[in-house]
Structure 1
């Protein structure tokens, strides 16, 4: 029995309103980089479904940049730590770690020989540092600012120059190495968000929240012109990047547009209109070979189309917040994975290609706690917004009428043939039929935590906070307590019937999975031990002979029902967070989700 990684569908970048997002481009042109939480995400630019995640930072990572050699990546976090690590090996071995200052790192730049690094951000006494990559020895000072430095760049040709832009509205220009302060450029009237040298080093541009892009001589720092006149954009500009040949410039703005500029003429050649919603503000951009990429406040990654500026070639969607629930569904021979996140967002993925999108219309407004597909091909979801929704998977849109309001917050939802749905809410059980409430039970005398409907539609099992499983028979449109209950080792966290209805598996906080045989009056078949912490989720394989469990110990186990010693373990399935959801695409493919906002698929061999 073995298990190996098959696909990683990565998270989107984590975004903050009014804060620029720095993207890292691979000098070889294969990948691009961004950060989310404590992760650095490396994605293939041609096929973004191919991704790798670096998870070794102990704090939230803010920026990552490739060395010009392409062999190393430098990434910086909110504590002021810089880690330089290998890109060529899967293990991403750490080469060096430095702490240039104490505070959030906002930007990183390398010299073209991959020997020196400039790092800027929110230091306590200082806001920037320049040092040798392999010793950490200083090669100059970053002076000239009285507030946080947002952006830094190094001229990629000798003689080297260093330029920085700050919240104090000024730009600082230094010569080196060793880098010494030469002059302050006070031409902007608001925060300077981005500074970038042209590829040949002859010029550099500065972009500011005042909507201006200014261009300077790369060697002397003297002003040449303003691009786009007095106002290049109607809103603040968060990012600029040069075309590989240095003839054009791309700028991303809070006015929800990205513009392409002819640098020589100083005029806009193309304006990309990215939408009208506040989430369409553009906070980052990258020009890599023929790819023009921008990042929206929503976290969406847009591949821009010069021939059609109002519609991107493609938009990479996904989750930027922790994923809380998952299910799978086959449709016309293809399997789709559905995931719901902490912010109420639901995404669906093609399990093979990783292509994904979201439903249209207005959906949940809070965490999507559970989801399951019923026999009518509807995605049934329950959320902390106190609703249960029924979403038609062919139409792929939310419907205002297919929503059932609960009296209290639903924790869990389960379905059975014939349009039956059971919602386990705080202090209440609600039975629905054909998207309508038909019965509810209050004053239960226990706190329900999880529930499952038998695939035959005759029985409901409900687990409580003391470790008891209560059985109810479904008679017509009512739930009737059968007077039979089973005990497990601790407070119940999840439960599910096998697909054929033969077994009921129950997970608890005491790290045990208990499996009961339905036909044998729910006699205990076996107990499964192995987790080191509370188990939070489980899922049955389509073969009904195996099931998977995931716990707070970040481990996933695949168990064999008839032999509790026969098991597969994945340690650190998602390195930073516990597994929040499990589902099976087929009997040899397991999908896991986590608070790292990524979706992983694993090939299971028995």
Structure 2
């Protein structure tokens, strides 16, 4: 079956308080890029819902920059490894790989001919190097600093000049190539976080934790002056970015503002106020064509409006932490994906356009473990904060009254007709009706792992670590143990009833999937083998004749219920969603992930096709969720 990538719903940048975030810009002005976990995320600047992802780093990626030619991207990681890879092909083929530093790479700069590259950061013997990108041969010595170097930039017009910014409160100026140290810049009193040359090369600026921005001559390195008098910002400044015409720049600060500066007049033209919370601190910025972008500590990407500085034109939201669960809901003919992450954040995505947002108000305070939707139009979520939440999908707002406190940490939740919900907690199974607990099973004699309620609301099936599925009849507001169990080959990892209630599919740690026929007293229909490591997630096709499983082996199988040998195997390729991950709705997995060991499949989603879309595995589109 042919398949292709349809959408990538990208994660936000991974942020750290007090640490600047470098945003790279496409020299053609079409894209911008940033890092999250082991991924480099490339997004279209006019429509950030259009995204691509590079996943080949083995360690956390810290910075990525386009070559001025636009044909290559250089990305550096926390181990000191630099990868230079192609931007023109979907496969993003690796061109060169170097290890220029022994510690975290903090910034990268290219010469305008795309031949030389400077890399700075942390290390034991040195904090920066500059070399020919195609051979690795040194073209200078970036010495002169006693602590890690935060930022580097190279003048984009000959004669070349290079400037550095370091944690030792100093900057430095180099001439070349080969680049040779000329003198130290000692104007800052605290860490120097960023240095950037203007596009025309006439000036460069440094910005520091002392809230000051200094302007220097681009050719001689002489101090010209400072912006904003004694201080440019009330808080530390983490990033600056020049306008294309070199007359203005923007600066991002921990004081929760971004300022637009007239460099010639040394005055702020506009101050953009981005909020009052700690998460509104601004740690990165980019001026790309007519777009002014800043990055908040929350990871939110803000498109700034010169005409309305107190309200961004657009705020791009999403996940910054790993995604733990997903579900899908169709409303007014459109499919929406809902995703919950490790930090308790819930996001929703239009499955067609990629437009996204999050619920307002205060939600879960810890990892969201499972989510489903009910017939009343609620998103039902369970979390490691020991609560179940019922959130109205039309209002998209958390309600303080629709929270159910559990006695023990919930692992799984399922819903059915008549307002029924089933929560599986550590050592306990709880039946709820109309958002209230009505019955509790304790002292089970086994550890419950996952529970599902039959679509008809007649039976609750609970899978245990004992390798059995325990069946309970739902009688009014109680669960009655009928003494019937179904045998699996190992501890249960996931299970689900088909949409019509005809089948129950069960996954276990022994890498076996079983399908039981409900109407025939839960007799075994078929057994399915294929995974090489523990399968962890299962989803039914809308036609009830197929189901998909995903495992720790990073394999996705699509099974035909009536014939175990008729299967589709999707090896070594997956769609990615979210935070140290990205989400994709595709016809099948489509982003190549190399032979790494840091991938973990989280969930599978059946998505309903639109009218003009090809039918896949019975009318659904498969979305896979991984963590990187």
User: What TM-score do you get using the length of structure 2 for normalisation?
Assistant: 0.94
Structure 2 CA distance for aligned equivalents of residues 53 and 381 of structure 1: 29
Deviates more, 1:101-110 or 1:4-13: 4-13
Q: Give the match for residue 393 of structure 1.
A: 393
**Matching residue of 1:295:** 295
Extract unaligned runs of 5+ from structure 1.
597-606
Cross-structure match for 1:594: 626
Which runs of structure 2 are paired with 1:30-109 in the superposition (5 Å)?
Answer: 30-109=30-109
For the residues of structure 2 that align with 1:5 and 1:69, how far apart are their CA atoms? 26
Q: Which residue number corresponds to residue 564 of structure 2? A: 564
Equivalent residue for 1:129?
A: 129
Q: Does 1:578 align with 2:578?
A: no
For residues 21-36 of structure 1, what are the structure 2 equivalents within 5 Å? 21-36=21-36
- Is the 1:109–1:153 Cα contact (8 Å) retained in structure 2? yes
Looking at structure 1, the residues matched to 408 and 31 of structure 2 have their Cα atoms a distance apart, in angstroms, of 46
Q: CA deviation at 1:562?
A: 1.1
3-state SS of 1:3 partner: coil
- The yes-or-no answer on 1:183 pairing with 2:215 is no
Which residue is 1:517 aligned to? 517
Contact 1:550 1:578 in 2 (8 A): no
- How far has the Cα of 1:531 moved from its partner? 1.2
Distance 1:321 1:374 in 2: 26
SS at match of 2:279: helix
**Following TM superposition, by how much is the alpha carbon of 1:5 offset from its aligned partner in structure 2, in angstroms?**
2.0
1:261 alignment partner in structure 2: 261
Question: Residue 359 of structure 2 corresponds to which residue in structure 1?
Answer: 359
How far off its partner does 1:542 sit?
A: 1.3
CA distance in 2, matches of 1:570, 1:341: 25
- Counterpart CA distance in 1 for 2:240 and 2:569 is 46
Report whether the alignment pairs 1:173 with 2:195. no
Q: 1:588 Cα deviation (Å)?
A: 2.8
Q: CA deviation at 1:554?
A: 1.3
2:14 aligns with 14
Determine the structure 2 residue equivalent to 1:487. 487
Identify the residue that residue 116 of structure 2 maps to in structure 1: 116
Q: Structure 2 regions of 5+ residues with no counterpart?
A: 577-592, 609-618
SS at match of 2:4: strand
Shift, 1:528, TM fit: 1.1
State the distance in 2 between where 1:290 and 1:563 align. 57
Mapped partners of 2:15, 2:127: distance in 1: 22
Match of 2:221 in 1: 221
Q: May I ask how many residue pairs the two structures share in their alignment?
A: 596
Per-residue CA shift, 1:160-195, capped at 9, x if unaligned? 111000000000111111111100011000100000
Of 552-561 and 499-508, deviating more is 552-561
Matches within 5 A, 1:264-413: 264-413=264-413
Q: Give the CA deviation at 1:314.
A: 0.8
Partners of 2:141 and 2:437 lie apart in 1 by: 68
Name 2:581's counterpart in structure 1: none
2: CA distance, partners of 1:194 / 1:386: 43
Shift of 1:356: 0.4
Residue 457 of structure 1 aligns with which residue?
Answer: 457
Contact 1:143 1:172 in 2 (8 A): no
Which residue of structure 1 lines up, in the alignment, with residue 236 of structure 2?
236
SS across alignment from 1:376: coil
Q: CA deviation at 1:569?
A: 2.2
Q: Distance in 2 between matches of 1:119 and 1:335?
A: 44
The C-alpha deviation readout for 1:275-319, integer Å capped at 9, x for no partner, is 111111000001111111110101111111111111111111111
Cα distance in 1 between the residues matched to 2:284 and 2:253: 8
Note the C-alpha offset of 1:560. 1.2
Checking the alignment, whether the CA contact within 8 Å between 1:537 and 1:580 is kept in structure 2 is yes
**TM-score, normalization: structure 1?**
0.97
SS, match of residue 232 in structure 1: coil
State the distance in 1 between where 2:523 and 2:2 align: 30
Shift of 1:581: 1.4
1 CA distance for matches of 2:202 and 2:5?
46
Q: 1:418 aligns to what SS in structure 2? A: helix
Shift in Å, 1:511? 1.1
Alpha-carbon deviation of 1:570? Answer: 2.2
Spell out, residue by residue over 1:556-584, the C-alpha distance to the aligned partner (whole angstroms, 9 max, x if none). Answer: 11111111122222223143522201111
CA RMSD in angstroms, aligned pairs only: 0.9
The question of whether the paired residues in 2 share the 8 Å contact of 1:206 and 1:214 is answered with yes
State whether residues 542 and 620 of structure 2, in contact with CA within 8 Å, keep that contact through their aligned partners in structure 1: no
Query: What is the CA–CA distance in structure 2 between the aligned matches of 1:87 and 1:416, rounded to whole Å?
Result: 47
How far does residue 4 in structure 1 lie from its aligned partner after superposition? Answer: 2.8
- 3-state SS of paired residue (2:19): coil
Rounded Cα–Cα distance in structure 1 between residues aligned with 2:566 and 2:312: 49
Output the CA distance in 2 between the equivalents of 1:483 and 1:267: 78
